[in-house]
Structure 1
Amino acid sequence: MNGEEDNIPIPSLVDQPQENQEAAGDGESTDQPNREDYGKTLYGCEHYRRRCKLRTPCCNQVFTCRHCHNEAMSVLSNPKERHELVRQDVKQVICAVCNIEQEVSGLCSNCGVKFGEYFCHICRFYDDDTTKKQFHCHDCGICRVGGRENYFHCPKCGSCYSIELRDNHSCVENSMKNHCPICYEFLFDSIKGTTIMKCGHTMHMDCYSEMISQSQYRCPICSKSVFNMSRTWERLDLEIEATAMPEEYRYEVSILCNDCNNTGKALFHIFGHKCRHCNSYNTRMITTGENHQ
């Protein structure tokens, strides 16, 4: 999305529909609220409803939001010119209603409209859609959605998680300050939903669902099982018991268990090798059987 500006007149009472003029004419007390709410949810982009645009200090262009900026800059033909906007660096905004450029604030200094029903001065973040229940997390340093009462900040993982995960997840230091192992988008400030696997590593919810639909049950980072596989291991027990290997393949191999990290021995079988410590078949061979080809 480009940063072109429109020559929109400054809103006044005569610019409003007839019914709004009548409501505003009853007294001065109704004038200010109407003026602040003028154009609410009518401006913005595919990412946010807001009544201002940002002057990006990195390239001195105008975009509705940082996502619009980052998408436009990521496709530049010259890789050296590609960059992302640091939201806290924004100093100037342009009112989408009256087109006046000014310092970052919650209200337009010229026409008096709110730039966003939700406004965070730290993040330079505006949004008219407050149903998202936005809140600023000082530990994360950015705004989150979903309601402050529904989340807590995990200092070790370095991010906000659902309160359902308080004392109920495996902590991995700065696990959210990494890229999704599937699509490789940075997770910490991604607008997509994320999930935490049993091992503590994180990825996008959509990427996780796609991975499971492809019958991949292991974490792409550490290879641990992402959910309880005990029933699958029981079925493998029955299949291995019913499928004897030829005499020349009846030997032991050394294995490493991805689930419990223990090493051990297991009888070679084409269906899998069972860990004697945790009964998992999520293992890998680390040596072949001695004296066998």
Structure 2
Amino acid sequence: MEEEQNTVSPSRTSTEQIQQDTAKLPHQYGCEHYRRRCKIRAPCCNQIFSCRHCHNEATVTSSLLYYFHYFFLFFPLGHFFFFLCVSQSSLSNPKDRHEIVRHDIKQVICSVCNTEQEVAQVCNKCGVKMGEYFCDICKFYDDDTSKQHFHCDGCGICRLGGREKFFHCEKCGSCYVIEMRGNHSCVENSMKDYCPICYEYLFDSVKQATVMKCGHTMHMDCFREMAKQQQYRCPLCSKTVIDTADYWKLLDEEIEAVQMPEQYQDEVSILCNDCNSTSKVAFHIVGHKCKQCASYNTRRIAGTGS
């Protein structure tokens, strides 16, 4: 099959020798993102890069340097506006930041013989495999097959981890681990959004993402950092996203131990962020417990009074 794709078919001996030689030096080719034996020509700017991530990092950095010089020259508070631009660049749509569209890649350059050619797994001149894993749809190459790449037709891109371990949720618009089939709250296109912590686009991020109990998503690292800061609510919907049973019990004990002065013993109206119910409870400086679901994830919606 591979030989049929070659426009020039080298001898079996020379092809095998090239593959054996390149296999001995697995880190000679590629970049910090992927091990591969080819580079890509970006269709958006016609420049050559090792991979799409190298392209995106270079173009975003160039844009930020432009804003850096501009604001420092013309604004006394240039440093403030520079950091504002950094933040806004993360919030923008990937295409607006001059990010490469992987499916539009048409030309690649073999790193072994330096021949530019149309996208294919095997070089049409020297016959070397430019990537042990190859996706003709995503124009993607990678020698590290331990990542267990697979192409998801629903997502339209390649994923990692093994096809048998994931399923595609049509409503959420992304692949989730099998254990989550029928066991998660669906939010339409929840992955086609930005991480509420770092504002990086989640759908094609190389960082691992997690689905919270409420159905919203964020990077796993961001979720862990949020938990370290004792933030237990989803930044988007304010629902509780971690197990707070022990914390609620601690608040129960503290409220029982601390009696409010008589002048503060009025009732307040509260809204529960977890079950969306309203109720009237005794005011307490520590917190207000929902009468429906016993959650302390509540907020006052009216002043004191019966």
| Band the TM-score falls in, shorter-chain normalisation | 0.7 to 0.9
- The corresponding residue for 1:143 is 158
The residue correspondences of 1:184-203 to structure 2 (distance < 5 A) are: 184-203=199-218
Larger Rg: 1
TM-score (norm 1): 0.86
Task: Work out whether 1:214 is the aligned partner of 2:248.
Answer: no
Distance 2:247 2:61 in 1: 44
Task: Work out whether 1:97 is the aligned partner of 2:80.
Answer: no
The residue correspondences of 1:259-270 to structure 2 (distance < 5 A) are: 259-270=274-285
Pick aligned residue for 2:42 from 56, 64, 84: 56
Between the two proteins, what is the percent identity of the paired residues?
A: 64
Offset from partner CA, 1:200-223 (integer Å, 9 cap, x none) = 111111111111111111111111
**How much is the aligned-residue C-alpha RMSD, in angstroms?**
1.9
Unaligned runs of 5+ in 1: 1-12, 14-27
Q: Is the 8 A contact 1:75 1:82 kept in 2?
A: no
Q: Aligned AA for 1:205? A: M
Distance 1:37 1:247 in 2: 84
- The corresponding residue for 1:75 is 61
Q: 1:263 to 1:34 in 2, by over 3 A?
A: farther
Q: Is the 8 A contact 1:37 1:113 kept in 2?
A: no
Task: Work out whether 1:132 is the aligned partner of 2:147.
Answer: yes
SS of the equivalent of 2:183 reads coil
Q: Aligned AA for 1:58? A: C
- The corresponding residue for 1:35 is 18
- The corresponding residue for 1:4 is none
The residue correspondences of 1:104-115 to structure 2 (distance < 5 A) are: 104-115=119-130
Structure 1 stretches of 4+ with a deviation exceeding 6 A read none
Q: Is the 8 A contact 1:38 1:113 kept in 2?
A: no
Q: Is the 8 A contact 1:55 1:61 kept in 2?
A: yes
Q: Aligned AA for 1:179? A: Y
- The corresponding residue for 1:288 is 303
Q: Is the 8 A contact 2:15 2:126 kept in 1?
A: no
SS of the equivalent of 1:45 reads coil
The residue correspondences of 1:247-258 to structure 2 (distance < 5 A) are: 247-258=262-273
Alignment size in residue pairs: 265
- The corresponding residue for 2:80 is none
More contact order relative to length (CA 8 Å, sep ≥ 6): 2
- The corresponding residue for 2:239 is 224
Offset from partner CA, 1:83-140 (integer Å, 9 cap, x none) = 1000011111111111111111111111111110000010000000000000000010
Distance 2:220 2:261 in 1: 44
TM-score (norm 2): 0.83
Offset from partner CA, 1:223-249 (integer Å, 9 cap, x none) = 111122122112211111111111111
Q: Aligned AA for 1:222? A: C
Unaligned runs of 5+ in 2: 1-9, 68-88, 90-95
Query: How far 1:29 moved relative to its partner?
Result: 5.6
SS of the equivalent of 1:58 reads coil
Offset from partner CA, 1:16-62 (integer Å, 9 cap, x none) = xxxxxxxxxxxx76654343454243300000001000000101101
Query: How far 1:276 moved relative to its partner?
Result: 0.3
SS of the equivalent of 1:39 reads helix
